[in-house]
Structure 1
Amino acid sequence: MPTSPHGSPDRGLKPFILAVHREALETAAAKGLTGALAQVAALQDTASLASAKAGRPVTEEEVMRLLLRERRTLRIREAAGAPLVAPVRKPAAAPSRFRLGRWRTVAMGVAWSASAGLAGKVRL
């Protein structure tokens, strides 16, 4: 069966590739490989085994595209399945009459100070 124009392997190979890649990662870890080296080894093993099953060469690029597409759809499913939770906020208490008056004077551009009256005029 030929490859689709998008470069993904045949539809019947998808579950096989996903399962083989999972096992290849475990095998690489058992061999003591870590990080990018383990990823590359697993990718090469997966491509090799998928080629044998498909009866045609399956490239590492095809395997990587399939893995990335599967990872992306999994993230989308997780995001869609998780309910959006808004943070619970305590309702604000009504401001006191003093604060309301203070806000009004500040909004009008009039500032109060402790020792002076309106706009810095000294009280007598």
Structure 2
Amino acid sequence: MPTSPHGSPDRGLKPFILAIHREALETAAAKGLTGTLAQVAALQDTASLASAKAGRLVTEEEVMRLLLRERRARKIHEAMGTAPVVPVRKPVAAPSRFRLGRWRTVAMGMALSASAGLAGKARL
């Protein structure tokens, strides 16, 4: 049973590897291993048991690729099952004539005061 060029194990091994990995994680937790150490131990156990069933060497890399691919596929399926939540936004009302006029006078006043300030300094 050869490995595909992408490094994934044979199709018949996929369910076996997934089930064995879950068991290996539980076994590592029962032994008191946590975090990365538990994950590495489970990965090594899974690769070892999958190699015995496949009759060839199944690397830890192959097992990790399969696990990551399954995790991504599960996230995609979960995301497609739920509708995205879009916040409700009120339409922006057009500014009133009063506000526009006020902004214009403020802007014009700033421009006039800036130019008058320079002219005022020049006169002194």
TM-score w.r.t. structure 2 length?
A: 0.77
Matches within 5 A, 1:54-73: 54-73=54-73
Q: SS where residue 71 of structure 2 aligns?
A: helix
Higher relative contact order (CA 8 A, sep 6+): 2
| Equivalent-residue separation in structure 2 for 1:111 and 1:76 (angstroms) | 57
TM-score w.r.t. structure 1 length?
A: 0.77
* Higher percent of residues as helix: 2
Percent identity for Structure 1 against Structure 2: 82
Q: Which residue of 1 aligns with 2:35?
A: 35
Which structure 1 residue ranges, 5 or more long, are not aligned? 113-117
Provide the alpha-carbon RMSD of the alignment.
2.3
Aligned residues: 114
Q: SS where residue 111 of structure 1 aligns?
A: helix
Matches within 5 A, 1:1-124: 1-105=1-105, 109-111=107-109, 119-120=112-113
Which structure 2 residue ranges, 5 or more long, are not aligned? 117-124
Q: Are the structure 2 counterparts of residues 84 and 104 from structure 1 closer, same or farther at C-alpha, using a change threshold of 3 Å?
A: farther
Structure 1 residue runs of 4 or more that deviate by more than 6 Å after TM superposition: none
| Equivalent-residue separation in structure 2 for 1:15 and 1:104 (angstroms) | 70
Q: SS where residue 11 of structure 1 aligns?
A: coil
